[in-house]
Amino acid sequence: MKVNTFSKAERLNKKILIEKLFSAEARSFTVFPLRVVYLPVDELDVPASVLISVSKRRFKRAVKRNKVKRQIREAYRNNKALLGTAANGKKWMIAFLYLSDEIVPLLTITECIKSALQKIVDN
């Protein structure tokens, strides 16, 4: 399996798991422009399952929302090895929620994703 892919199995799309992720037991923190919600779980087939959300309230146009989601996906795809190597068999559900009202450069998002993944691994 290629390391730098973002397969369908890595996308968080089951309603039950999403509700569990946003329950009271999940932990969260902010690395602007992202809010990261995460929860260790056992029932996943992959090391991490990811949800990416950009609010319609912040970007009315779908083109802009999709651009931000593509940037977050790309940053995660390139840096997910940080999560896999240090996870020690742990599996995670992670949600990246975009907070800014403006589109930030990919480099900024990449740095945020790196620090967020490092923080998840350290906890």
Instruction: State the residue range of the domain holding 86.
Output: 30-122
Q: Is residue 117 part of a domain?
A: yes
What pLDDT is recorded for position 2?
55
Quote the number of domains for the chain. Answer: 1
Phi then psi dihedrals of residue 34, to 5 deg: -120, 145
pLDDT reported for residue 1 = 45
Q: Both tokens of residue 89? A: 């068999």
Q: How far is CA 10 from the centre of its chain?
A: 10
In-domain check, residue 19? no
Predicted confidence at residue 5, as pLDDT, reads: 87
Q: In this structure, is residue 25 part of a structural domain?
A: no
How many angstroms separate the CA atoms of 12 and 63, rounded? 22
Tell me if 18 is assigned to some domain.
no
Q: Provide the pLDDT for residue 55.
A: 95
Here the CATH number for the domain that contains residue 102 is 3.30.230.10
Q: Is residue 79 in a domain?
A: yes
Pick the closest to residue 76 from 100, 106, 119, 55 (CA basis): 106
- The predicted-structure confidence for 21-70, as pLDDT tens digits, reads as follows 998 889 999 999 999 999 998 888 888 899 999 999 999 999 999 999 99
Phi, psi of 87 (to 5 degrees): -75, -25
Q: With bands split at pLDDT 50, 70 and 90, how would you rate the model's confidence at 102?
A: very high
In a domain, residue 4? The reply is no
pTM over 0.75: yes
Confidence of residue 85 (pLDDT cuts 50, 70, 90): low
Flag whether 17 is in a domain. Answer: no
Longest dimension (CA), the chain: 41
DSSP element (H, E) containing 49: strand 48-54
Q: Name, in order, each residue with C-beta under 8 angstroms of 117's C-beta and a sequence gap of 6 or more.
A: 79, 80, 82, 83
